[in-house]
Structure 1
Amino acid sequence: MSVVDFPSAPPAPVPPAASPAGTAAARKRRRTTGGKAPYVLVLPCLALLAALLGYPLVRMAVLSFQQLGLRQLFGDLPPENVGFDNYARIFTEPAFYQVVGRTVAFTVVSVGLTVLIGLGVALLMRRVAPSVRIMMIVAMMFVWAMPQLVATQTFRWLVDSDFGVLNWLIDRIPGVDFANHSWFADPVQGWIVITSIVVWAGIPFIAITLNAGLTQVPRELLEAAVIDGASSWQALRRVTMPILKPLMVIVTTLSVIWNFGLFTQVWVVRNGRPEEEYQVLATWAYSLAFKNNDYGLGSAIAIVTVLLMLGAMVFYMRQMFRIGDVD
C-alpha cells in the first residue's frame, strides 16, 4: 500500500517582538486614557473642599499673625499685624508643653485601648453564631451613631456625685464608701472617665472594620497552621496579624487623628470650664480665643495643632498609597 504524503501545514507566524518605543507608546496611551474627563469630574469636589476647608484654614493662619481682640472685632480698629509674636508667646509658655504632653498621653492611651479592645471584639465576632454577630454589629452601630454630646452627657450622669448609678453600685461593695464621690476632684480619675467615653465610642468602628478584614484571612492558612502544631496564639500572631496589618495601621492612624482633636468630651464633663489639669490643645485654643478674647493667640495654637496632626495624616496617606501599590 502506497503512502500518500500530505502537505505539511505552514509554520505559525511568530509575532514580532515589541520594540521599546512601541512599549513606551502603549504605556503613554494607558496613562492618558480618559483624557481630561477625570480632572473635570473631580473639580466640583475640589472646589467644595476648598470652600469648606481651605478658606477657614487660610483665614485661621492669617489670624495667627495678628492681634485681634474685642476692640478690633467690634470696634473700628483694624487688626494689628504682630508677625510671629503669637507663636513666640506659645513656645515660651510652660503651660503649652504641659497641654501638648497631656494631649499626646491621652491619645496614646485611648488609641491603644480602643484598638486592643476592638481587635478582641472582632476576633470574638468570628467565633459566635451569625445571628449573634448580626446583633453585635447592630448594637455597635447604635453606639457609633450616637452623637458625642449625648454620649458624654450620659456618662456624666452615670458618674454624678449625687445621683450617679456608678457611685451607687460601688457603694454597695462591703467596706467601700463611694457616697457623693466626685470623680473629677482627682485628675487621674477624671481622665479615666473621659478616656472611657472616648474608648467606648471608638470601639464599634475598630471592631466592625477589623471584623471585615478578618473575613479576608484564608481559612486554609489557619487550618494548615493548626495541622503543623501551631497554637491559637501562634496562628493569630504568625498568620492573621500579618494579613491584617495594613488595615490595623489605617484604623490606628485614623483613631490618632480623631482622638488628638479631643474637645467635646472634656468640654461637656467640665461644664464648659475645664480646669488646668483637663486642658488639651483643642479646649485650650478655644478658651483663649472665645473666653479670653485673644483670637490671634487661639488661632496660633490651632495652627500648631494642625501641624502636629499633619504628621499622622502624612503617615496615613503613605499607608494608603502603599496598600494601593500592593493591590
Structure 2
Amino acid sequence: MTSPATAPAVVDAPTPRSDAPRAAKPRSVRALPYLLVTPAVLALLVGLGYPLYWQVTNSFKEYGLAQQFGQAPEWVGLANYVELLTGSQFWAVLLKSVAFMAVTALVTMALGIGLALAMKAVNRWARLSLQVAMLLAWAMPIVAQMTVWNWLIDSRNGVLNYVLSLLPGVDMIGHNWLVNPWSFFAVASVIITWAAVPFVALSVYAGLTQVSGEVTEAAQLDGASGFQMLRRITLPIIRPILVILLLLQMIWDLRVYAQIELLQGFGAAGDKYDLLGTYIYGLGIGQGHFGVAAAAAMIVMVFTIGLSWFYVRELLKEDN
C-alpha cells in the first residue's frame, strides 16, 4: 500500500519591515524646492530689505530738512522714541486708531457673515447678482470710491442730507459731516466697511460651501433649529476662516491711510483727525521730521507684528 501524499507546507512570505531604511533622494531633488523659492526670497529682500533697513537706521537719527540739503544726519539713539512715547499726541492717535480698528473690523465681520449666510439661503440668480455687485464694489479704486462718497455727503448738494431732510422735522441741508470728530470717523468707518465687506462675505461663503450637508441634516433630524445649527455647527466648523479674516481686517484697518487722507482733504478739519497712517505721513512728509516718523513707523510695525503672530499661529494650526 502506498502512503497518502501529504500537501507541501505553505511558508508565509516575510512581511516587509516598516523600519527598513528608505532609499535616499538624490541631492538635486532635495535642493529643488529651495532653488524654486530662492528668486522670491531675493525679490523680497531687495524690495523690502532696503526700505526696512533705511527706516530702522533713520529712526535713530536726526533726519530733518537740513539733511535734504546735504547735511549728514546726526545719531541721536533713542531720542526719537523717547520724544514719541513721552508725548501725548502719539498716544492719543494710537488710542483713536485702535478704537477705530476694533469697531470697523467687528462691523465688517458681522456684515460679511450676514451677507454670506444670505447668499447661502437665496436662489441662484439672487446669489449671482449679489456676488457681482460686491465684486464691483470691491474692485472700485479708492480715489473713485472717495469721489462718489464725497458727492453723497456733500454739505450743499449731497444726496444723504437731502434724503434725511425728507423726514418730518429733520433739516440736514448744509450739515457738514466732516467737522465733528464723531461724524468724521463714523463716515470713515462706513466707507472702509463698505469696501471691505465683499472680501469677508465671499471668503465666508466659500467656507460655508465646504460644510458637509450630512452634518446639517443630522442636526435637523435631532431637532436643532436654524440658529442652533449656525451657532453650534456651522460657525465652529468655519472658525479658522473667521479668525484669519478678523485678524487681517484688524491689521488693514489699523494701517488705513488713503481714505482718511482724502476725507481730511474734503473737509475743513485737515490733520486734526489723524490716525496712525496720516499721522506718520504728516510727521515725515508734512513736517520734515523723518527720524521721528521712522520711529513711529517702527512702533506701528511692532504692533502689527504682534497681531500678525496670531494670524501665523492660526495658519500653523490649519496646516496641522
TM-score, scaled relative to structure 2:
0.94
Contact 2:178 2:269 in 1 (8 A): no
Contact 1:117 1:203 in 2 (8 A): yes
Correspondences of 1:79-158 after superposition (within 5 Å): 79-158=73-152
- Do residues 222 (structure 1) and 216 (structure 2) align? yes
Q: Distance in 2 between matches of 1:129 and 1:31?
A: 54
User: Which residue in 1 is equivalent to 2:172?
Assistant: 178
Q: Aligned pair in 2 of structure 1 residues 133, 7: CA closer, same or farther (>3 Å)?
A: same
Deviation at 1:9, TM superposition (A): 5.9
Q: 2:56 aligns with which of 42, 58, 61?
A: 61
Counterpart secondary structure, 2:29: coil
Q: Deviations over 1:8-34 (max 9, x none)?
A: 561322315434xx4xx54x9589893
Q: Distance in 2 between matches of 1:290 and 1:274?
A: 19
Correspondences of 1:223-242 after superposition (within 5 Å): 223-242=217-236
Q: Distance in 1 between matches of 2:171 and 2:26?
A: 71
Deviation at 1:276, TM superposition (A): 5.6
User: Which residue in 2 is equivalent to 1:41?
Assistant: 36
Counterpart secondary structure, 1:301: helix
The percentage of aligned residue pairs carrying the same residue is 34
Q: Distance in 1 between matches of 2:244 and 2:144?
A: 27
Q: Distance in 2 between matches of 1:168 and 1:145?
A: 28
Q: Distance in 2 between matches of 1:107 and 1:89?
A: 25
Q: 1:200 aligns with which of 194, 197, 213?
A: 194
User: Which residue in 1 is equivalent to 2:158?
Assistant: 164
Q: Distance in 1 between matches of 2:28 and 2:130?
A: 45
Q: 1:278 aligns with which of 270, 273, 290?
A: 273
Contact 1:65 1:300 in 2 (8 A): yes
Structure 2 stretches lacking a partner, 5+ long: none
Q: Distance in 1 between matches of 2:149 and 2:73?
A: 42
Comparing 283-292 and 133-142, the one that deviates more:
133-142
Q: Deviations over 1:168-226 (max 9, x none)?
A: 00011110010100112211111110000010000000000111000110111111111
Counterpart secondary structure, 1:126: helix
Letter in 2 for 1:65: F
Q: Aligned pair in 2 of structure 1 residues 239, 29: CA closer, same or farther (>3 Å)?
A: farther
Letter in 2 for 1:250: I
Letter in 1 for 2:109: V
Contact 1:288 1:294 in 2 (8 A): yes
Contact 1:68 1:295 in 2 (8 A): yes
User: Which residue in 1 is equivalent to 2:309?
Assistant: 314
Correspondences of 1:246-325 after superposition (within 5 Å): 246-271=240-265, 275=270, 277-325=272-320
Deviation at 1:6, TM superposition (A): 6.5
Letter in 2 for 1:14: P
Counterpart secondary structure, 1:15: coil
Structure 1 stretches lacking a partner, 5+ long: none
Q: Distance in 2 between matches of 1:31 and 1:106?
A: 54
Q: Deviations over 1:250-305 (max 9, x none)?
A: 11111111111011111001108864652111111100111111111111111111
Contact 2:116 2:201 in 1 (8 A): yes
Letter in 1 for 2:308: M
Counterpart secondary structure, 1:35: helix
Letter in 2 for 1:129: N
Contact 2:179 2:269 in 1 (8 A): no
Letter in 2 for 1:314: W
Q: Aligned pair in 2 of structure 1 residues 31, 303: CA closer, same or farther (>3 Å)?
A: farther
Q: Deviations over 1:59-82 (max 9, x none)?
A: 111111111112111x23111111
Q: Deviations over 1:128-171 (max 9, x none)?
A: 11222122111111111111222122112210101110000001
Contact 2:264 2:271 in 1 (8 A): no
Cα RMSD of the aligned pairs, angstroms, is 2.2
Contact 1:250 1:319 in 2 (8 A): yes
Q: Distance in 2 between matches of 1:211 and 1:81?
A: 53
Q: Distance in 2 between matches of 1:132 and 1:94?
A: 51
Comparing 268-277 and 293-302, the one that deviates more:
268-277
